[in-house]
């Protein structure tokens, strides 16, 4: 991994967008700092498309897509994408003095791209919840994560957010899930149980191809990825230009390919370092 000072100016200028993780990358233990939020606007002003890509639930994605300067949000480790959609114009009615300047009914709504129909989705997730509850009974150090009510495709167990679960227990839980044909993903805070085939890299590429008309192969060069933990490993391996915040060093053992560049600071402060370096190089 190389320091941010080694980023070539031509690499920064050639980027079309930034894809970034949330927990412990943009967020500091779940909190968004003012400087980090400002850095997103600086990146956007430099001409970059911004896509959040997180293991967090669809319900969280709905909120940040509305409140942050984002072009799209990929949630639940690539399974779903949230995209702003223009609202249809309101029906034309006779103007009145009280309503002639109203903008009610205009703006955007957030669409969710899910390839599975709602009934099949509910059945699939119910089976995952049964497995998760069995794991909680057998491994009392863990618990159902407190964001499960906002999830659509997966079920998560708390292993590092409010609980501290031994790594041996995490690996045993993963083995039990795999025996039942369930995929697992490990982030800095959660163990994810899922039957989806997508990951952060494939989920982002599907979004870029379907909704932004990007060639998937070209997108791996035109977009950079920023992350910190094991469930970011597939994206570090897939994208050409990748960045880690300093705490990525704690998770290198679970990655086949480390990020190409690394910030000197952890979490949100590291993301700010990356953002400001890219903005400066693009303006040089």
C-beta contacts of 138-146 below 8 A and 24+ residues apart: 138/176, 139/165, 139/169, 139/172, 139/173, 141/165, 141/166, 141/169, 142/169, 142/173, 142/191, 145/189, 145/190
- Look up residue 239 and give its DSSP letter: -
As assigned by CATH, the class of the 118-194 domain is alpha beta
What does the pLDDT look like over 66-85, one tens digit per residue? 999 999 999 999 999 999 88
pLDDT for 206-257, tens place per residue?
999 999 999 999 999 999 999 998 889 999 999 999 999 999 999 998 899 9
User: Within 10 A of 99 (CB to CB), how many other CB atoms are there?
Assistant: 10
188 neighbors 24 (Cβ within 8 angstroms) = yes
Distance between CA atoms of 146 and 172, rounded to whole angstroms?
A: 22
Structure confidence by residue, pLDDT tens digits, 164-203:
999 999 999 999 999 999 999 998 899 999 999 999 999 9
Task: Locate the domains of the chain by residue range.
Answer: 2-87+108-115+198-283, 118-194
Enter the CATH code of domain 2-87+108-115+198-283.
3.40.50.1000
Residue 139 pLDDT level (bands cut at 50, 70, 90): very high
Q: Identify the pLDDT of residue 113.
A: 76
């Amino acid at each position: 991994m190389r320091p941010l000072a080694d980023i070539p100016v031509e690499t920064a200028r050639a980027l079309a967008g930034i894809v970034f993780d949330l927990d412990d990358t943009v967020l500091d233990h779940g909190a968004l700092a003012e400087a980090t939020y400002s850095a997103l606007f600086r990146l956007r002003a430099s001409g970059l498309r911004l896509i959040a890509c997180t293991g967090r639930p669809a319900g969280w994605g709905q909120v940040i897509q509305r409140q942050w300067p984002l072009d799209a949000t990929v949630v639940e480790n690539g399974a779903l994408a949230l995209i702003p959609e223009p609202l249809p114009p309101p029906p034309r009615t006779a103007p009145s003095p009280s309503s002639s300047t109203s903008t009610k009914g205009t703006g955007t709504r957030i669409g969710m791209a899910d390839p599975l129909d709602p009934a099949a989705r509910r059945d699939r997730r119910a089976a995952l919840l049964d497995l998760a509850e069995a794991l909680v009974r057998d491994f009392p150090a863990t618990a159902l994560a407190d964001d499960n009510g906002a999830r659509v495709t997966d079920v998560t167990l708390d292993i590092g957010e409010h609980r501290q679960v031994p790594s041996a227990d995490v690996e045993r839980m993963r083995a039990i899930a795999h025996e039942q044909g369930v995929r697992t993903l490990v982030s800095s805070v959660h163990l994810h149980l899922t039957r989806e085939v997508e990951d952060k890299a494939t989920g982002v590429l599907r979004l870029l191809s379907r909704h932004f008309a990007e060639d998937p192969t070209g997108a791996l060069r035109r977009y950079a990825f920023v992350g910190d933990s094991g469930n970011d490993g597939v994206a570090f391996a897939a994208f050409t230009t990748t960045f880690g915040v300093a705490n990525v060093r704690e998770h290198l053992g679970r990655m086949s390919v480390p990020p190409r560049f690394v910030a000197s600071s952890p979490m949100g402060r590291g993301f700010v370092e990356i953002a400001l370096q890219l903005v400066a190089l693009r303006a040089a």
